[in-house]
């Protein structure tokens, strides 16, 4: 039996390269951080994690277009559009036509959207603190710079084949 509690495959193949990558570890960390969301805040406020990500973006960038929101949170435009429409149906966001481009919508949180944001953000910040406490201030700054630069680099190379 292996350390993970699974039997080795009959053909003897075993390859840990994928799960030893930084990408996999970042995905794992994100999944662990966000795992309790649906059972707690998601259920309480009737929103999905993707909708929460849109709310966070619009709190920081009111009047963003769907495309800007998609770029900002790293989801595809269609998913963000669907999430924004769901949030609009729930009364959490509103839209208006962009004065510069009549084909574009500008999205903003409504008062009920701000109520959701204000209810969730303290715990989100606290949860962030639980894993950043293990790092020094300098280490946090390095990790933050790395994550920003890595996200920028990945967004510039979005046309490549899918990764992990």
Render pLDDT for 96-146 as a digit per residue (tens, 0 to 9): 998 888 889 999 999 999 999 999 999 999 988 988 999 999 999 999 999
pLDDT for res 10: 84
Q: Report pTM.
A: 0.83
Residue ranges in 18-100 assigned as alpha helix (H):
22-34, 43-45, 49-60, 66-73, 77-89
Model confidence at 1: pLDDT above 50: no
Residue 2 has pLDDT above 60, yes or no: no
The residues, ordered by sequence, that sit 6+ positions from 123 with a Cβ below 8 Å of its Cβ are: 40, 41
CATH of domain 41-156: 1.10.10.10
**Would you list the domain boundaries of the chain?**
41-156
């Amino acid at each position: 039996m292996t350390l993970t509690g699974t039997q080795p495959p009959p053909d003897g193949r075993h390859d840990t390269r994928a799960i030893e990558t930084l990408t996999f570890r970042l995905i794992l960390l994100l999944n662990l951080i966000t795992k309790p969301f649906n059972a707690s805040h998601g259920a309480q406020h009737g929103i999905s994690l993707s909708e929460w990500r849109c709310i966070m973006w619009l709190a920081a960038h009111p009047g963003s277009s769907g495309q800007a929101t998609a770029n900002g949170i790293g989801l595809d435009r269609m998913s963000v559009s669907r999430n924004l429409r769901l949030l609009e149906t729930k009364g959490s966001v509103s839209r208006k036509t962009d004065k510069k481009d009549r084909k574009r919508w500008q999205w903003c949180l409504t008062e009920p959207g701000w109520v959701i944001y204000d209810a969730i953000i303290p715990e989100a910040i606290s949860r962030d603190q639980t894993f950043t406490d293990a790092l020094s201030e300098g280490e946090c700054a390095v990790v933050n710079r790395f994550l920003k630069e890595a996200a920028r680099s990945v967004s510039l190379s979005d046309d490549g084949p899918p990764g992990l």
